[in-house]
Structures are given as C-alpha cells and as structure tokens.
Chain A
Amino acid sequence: MEDTIKVAGGTGLTADDIKSGKIFLTEDSLDCAYAWDTGVAVNRYLAELKQGKIIATRCKKCKRTMLPPRLFCELCFIPCSNWQYVQDTGIVNTFSICHVHWDATRIGKDEKPHLPAVIEIDGASEGMGIMHLLGEVDPEEIKIGMQVKAVWKPEAERTGSIIDIKYFKPL
C-alpha cells in the first residue's frame, strides 16, 4: 500500500497520508466475551468425548440416531432422551483442502493444508455425523466414501471438546 493508488478522477492516497493524520479515522476494537450454556444434550456429548466416546440420541418416532445428540428431534418435534453410543469410525461424506489460512493468507510451501471433512459416523443414521478434520493422509489420496477412524488426544489432554478428537485418519 506504499504506492499511490491511481483512481480516475480522484485524489491519490498513500499509507503515510493515513499514518500522519492527513485522513481522519476513528478506530475501535470490540471486546465481547461469551460463555454459552451447553445445556443437557451438548453437555453429555462433550463429557463423553472427554471419555473417548461418541454418543448420539435416538428419536423414537423417526428412528434417526442423531449426531450431534439433541434433546429433541427437530423434525418430529418431540423430546429424545434415548442415548446411544456410536462408533468412532465412519466414511468421508465430503472434504476440502484448505490452501489459505483463516485470514486468507496462503499456506507456505512446507505447510500441510487443513483437511476439513464431514464424516458419516458408523452407528448414526445415514447422512449424520461429525464435521471434523482429516490427518495422517496425503491430500491426493482422499476419496469421498473412504473409511476413517478417530485419532483421540491422550486422555490427560482432553477437555470435553470437539477437538478431543485430533482428526480422523484412513482405516
């Protein structure tokens, strides 16, 4: 931004013009902090992740085994208190390869891209699963439909979080 930007019919601006106060700006940064109540369903889900297990709830009406677990079925609109463990294996429903960081800067040549994927978890209803990351895999080798398994953090490092699972790796 050091060079003067040419704008047809306008006046050029440099970064120095802004730094030296030639241009008036008002700056502020927001400081917001939240601590969301997890409630019944998410609380149990996170507590089970801390134990290295994945738990779902089952709707008695539409028979869906739902991940993430919820206290009510959003389609049947009835409460669901039937908890059911599911596997920590599944298949890749879809994936992507992130060539940019969250702030849109490109990843370095030696840096491994993040590999977000939707994993359909074994034991959950079709089309239900966990949005997570893939690891221990060459991006070129990933295929939709590929079988994968969770790689957990060591028990002592788990906090009751979705990232208690480090990533899913090919089976």
Chain B
Amino acid sequence: MNKKVAIVGLGFSGFGTTTPDLSYREMIFEAATRCYEDAGGIHPQAIDSFVASSEDFMEGISIADEYVPDQLGAVLKPVHSITGDSLQGLASAMMQIKTGQQNIVAASAFSKVSNLSHHEHLVSYATDPVYIRPFNENPYFIAGLEMNRYLHETGTTRDQCAKVVLKNRYNALKNPGACYGARLELEDVTGAPALSYPLGIYDMSGHLDGAIVVLLASEERARELTDKPVWIKGIGWATDTPNLDSRIEGMGSAVYAKLASQQAYRMADINNPFNEIDFAEIDDTFSYKELQHLEALNLCGPGEAGRLLELGCFSPDGDIPVNVSGGSLGAGYLHEANGLQRLMEVILQLRGEAGPRQLLDVETGLAFAWRGVPTATGAAAVISTRP
C-alpha cells in the first residue's frame, strides 16, 4: 500500500465559453491524445484502467458512465466513474495503483456547460426538495449566506473579497487557457450589480467548457514513461452534512476543506503547510471562497486571509502564490473538472512549463477543489517534484 504514484501525462482541450466546433467526445479525444503523447506516446491499450468524473445531470444523459470509454481509448478496459469532483476521481485512480491492482491509470473530466440552457435549474435540483426548493430562489443565495456569515465571523471585508477578483482575473492575462482575464479596478467589482447580497456578479466565476486528462503511474512505470514525473504525495476529501441550516461549523466555515487538507497533509507528512507548500491552486468559484479556503487549508490563520491578500502574500511574487493560473474567476469554472483544472496548473508549474506565469524554485504545490453550491464537499492533493 506504500507504492508511490506519479503523474506522467497531462492533456487538455477546449477552454472556451462555448465550443461548438467539437462534440464532448471529440474534445476529450483531443485531450486524451495530448495526454498520452505527453507520456511518451503511450497507446491506451497499454493503460490498465480509466476513471472519469461526471454528473449525469450536467451531461443530460443518465448513466453517462457508459459513454466514457471510446474517447479515452478505454473500450474493453476497466472503467468507472466518480460522481464527484475530479480530484476525488484522481484519488480513486491513485488508489488503484497504491493497492498494486493497476500500474497505469488515466483520470479524466470535462465540462460542456455551454450545452445547458439553464444551469441554475440543475443547481436548484441539488437542493433539498422539502426544506429548500419550495422557496423557489435562485440557488446562488446560498453563496450569499455563506459569504455574509464568513465576513461576520472573521472580520474580512467586502473589499478584500473584491481584491481576490482583481488578483485572479489579472493573473489570468498570462494564461492562454484562461477566458476571463481582465485588468479591473476595485470599484468595477464593488460597484457591479448585486447577485445575492453581499455577493455581486463579478464575485462569481463564469462558465467554461473544456476537457482534461491526466495519466498516473507506479514509480517503476513512471521512470520508463517520462523524465519529468511529479508525485502525488498526499490526497484527501471530505463532505459535511447537506443541511444548510445545521452545518457542523456553520455557514461561515469550510470544514470540508479543513478535513480534506488535514488528510492530504498527514499523508504527505506536512506539518506546517505555510512553510512547506510553495504555491496553491485552490477553489475560488466565488471570491470569498478563496479566502475562506485559504484559512481552512491552514495556509494562514483564521480571519487572516483578507489582510495577507492585501499585503501581497498570495500574489505571484508573494510568500504563497495562490491561483497564478487565474483560478476559476480568471480562467472560468469547469464544473466537475474543476479539480483537474487546479491540478493542471500545479503540474505545469512544477514541471517549469507555465510560460510567462512560471514561478521560480517551486517544489511542492497544493490543489484544492470544492464541488460548488450547494455542496459541502472538497478534495485536496499535495503534489511534489520529489517522490
């Protein structure tokens, strides 16, 4: 059970607000082809097993699992899906190698959210039919409740949340895979129309289509396939109660992030994340989420994230650069592929392949994803250049 697991291939495709030129199958085929080429041109016949992360409602096909194999080269192979964020899928793929059951496993996820006419409906159907749906609200009110409580409990300010938007959308200008790069002023965000108080329209990330495939391998196979492996040192995931009115630590806290990261840190033998994590790609589906998650991930103390952000601590040249890729606010929100999108930037940075936004001297990065409103599920992965 102590086998080391490396990421040996990365491929992506799409990354547009709409992608009418490709079907989801063709988009994933492109991402998979790039991934396998990145892993030394491996043919999928040599891959032992495949894991996809998806949600049937997003695809409009029930038992969408059955539509996974073709575009990954997984026909007649072990295949299964995880109804969860793609970092949970990554954990599943990793475990297959750790147990010695498989040696090479692919993990994939995609978003074709542009094919949905009313994504809000699907988010609404994720709320409890007895307790929540009868109010018939736009479901993003839940983010408004969380943000308000988080600001109240920590003393974090509205402006500090807006500054997350400024940072991430500015960072995105250096990322060719980001769709929402912009140079904004504080008033652009704070003066924008309200969504669900205190949340404004710019505090929420925009939708993105795209596909990402990564290839994992045992240490032995990794050495054969690539000379630039990065290693999954730790992984963890956790889910709070679904009850909006009785979350274990209340609406202001992201306890799922705390528990998921504790599990990942323990596995990676990390005792002081602030000193041992060089940079982080963490969920910023909403502006306040980045700050709330930073605290829950123990990258700073409770209530400190906003102030440290203003000091530049999380900027590309700061102590712990956060969302150098632009995050979801700058790059666009990839839904169940959110986790692989966060992971992708960590891989590129650790390999030194991040181009104009490359960070210097990075060895260990953290990827963290949240499953979005109304969930209380998160997954974290610690990735390092050292096995």
Using a CB–CB cutoff of 8 Å, the interface residues on chain A facing chain B are: 26, 28, 30-42, 70-72, 74-75, 77
Is A35 touching B117 in the complex (CB atoms < 8 A)?
yes
- Provide the main secondary structure of the chain A interface: loop
Residues of B within 8 A of A30 (CB): 121, 125
Residues of A within 8 A of B45 (CB): 77
The yes or no answer to B89 lying at the interface (CB within 8 A) is no
Residue from B27, B73, B116, B121 in contact with A77 in the complex, judged by beta carbons closer than 8 Å: B73
Chain B 99-125 near chain A by CB (<8 Å), digits 1 or 0: 000000000000010111110011001
Residues of B within 8 A of A72 (CB): 26, 29, 71
Is A34 touching B23 in the complex (CB atoms < 8 A)?
no
Is A36 touching B23 in the complex (CB atoms < 8 A)?
yes
Is B73 touching A32 in the complex (CB atoms < 8 A)?
no
A38 to B75, CA, bound (A): 21
Residue from A35, A37, A41, A75 in contact with B24 in the complex, judged by beta carbons closer than 8 Å: A37
Q: Which of B126-146 contact A (CB under 8 A)?
A: 129-130, 133-134
Residue from A26, A36, A42, A70 in contact with B115 in the complex, judged by beta carbons closer than 8 Å: A36
The yes or no answer to B43 lying at the interface (CB within 8 A) is yes
A21 to B21, CA, bound (A): 52
A73 to B118, CA, bound (A): 33
Interface centre among B26, B29, B43, B130 (most CB of A within 10 A): B26
Residue from B20, B29, B70, B117 in contact with A37 in the complex, judged by beta carbons closer than 8 Å: B20
Is A28 touching B29 in the complex (CB atoms < 8 A)?
no
The yes or no answer to B332 lying at the interface (CB within 8 A) is no
The yes or no answer to B9 lying at the interface (CB within 8 A) is no
Using a CB–CB cutoff of 8 Å, the interface residues on chain B facing chain A are: 19-27, 29, 32-33, 36, 43-45, 57, 60, 69-71, 73, 75, 112, 114-118, 121-122, 125, 129-130, 133-134
Q: A26-B130, A77-B43 are in contact. Are A39 and B23 (CB under 8 A)?
A: yes
A91 to B29, CA, bound (A): 32
Could you list 20 A-B pairs, sorted by A, with CB under 8 Å?
A: A31-B118, A32-B57, A32-B60, A32-B116, A33-B116, A34-B116, A35-B115, A37-B20, A39-B21, A39-B23, A40-B22, A40-B26, A42-B23, A70-B25, A71-B26, A72-B29, A74-B70, A77-B33, A77-B36, A77-B43
Is B122 touching A32 in the complex (CB atoms < 8 A)?
yes
A35 to B59, CA, bound (A): 10
Is A37 touching B71 in the complex (CB atoms < 8 A)?
no
A95 to B265, CA, bound (A): 57
A72 to B70, CA, bound (A): 9
Is B115 touching A34 in the complex (CB atoms < 8 A)?
yes
A40-B22, A42-B23 provided; 11 other pairs, C-beta below 8 A?
A26-B133, A26-B134, A30-B125, A34-B116, A36-B24, A37-B19, A37-B22, A38-B23, A39-B26, A77-B36, A77-B73
Q: A32-B60, A71-B26, A77-B73 are in contact. Are A37 and B121 (CB under 8 A)?
A: no
A71 to B57, CA, bound (A): 26
Q: A28-B133, A33-B116, A39-B21 are in contact. Are A75 and B75 (CB under 8 A)?
A: yes
Residues of B within 8 A of A34 (CB): 60, 115-117
Q: For the complex formed, measure the closest distance between the CB of B158 and the CB atoms of chain A, giving whole angstroms.
A: 34
Is A74 touching B133 in the complex (CB atoms < 8 A)?
no
A42 to B116, CA, bound (A): 19
Residues of B within 8 A of A31 (CB): 118, 121
A26 to B27, CA, bound (A): 40
- Nearest opposing residue in chain B for A27, CB measure: B129
A39 to B297, CA, bound (A): 40
A36 to B64, CA, bound (A): 14
A111 to B113, CA, bound (A): 41
Is B29 touching A71 in the complex (CB atoms < 8 A)?
yes
Q: A32-B122, A71-B29 are in contact. Are A37 and B112 (CB under 8 A)?
A: yes
Q: A36-B115, A37-B22 are in contact. Are A74 and B73 (CB under 8 A)?
A: yes
Residue from B43, B69, B116, B121 in contact with A74 in the complex, judged by beta carbons closer than 8 Å: B69
A39 to B117, CA, bound (A): 18
Is A33 touching B29 in the complex (CB atoms < 8 A)?
no
Residue from B27, B69, B114, B117 in contact with A33 in the complex, judged by beta carbons closer than 8 Å: B117
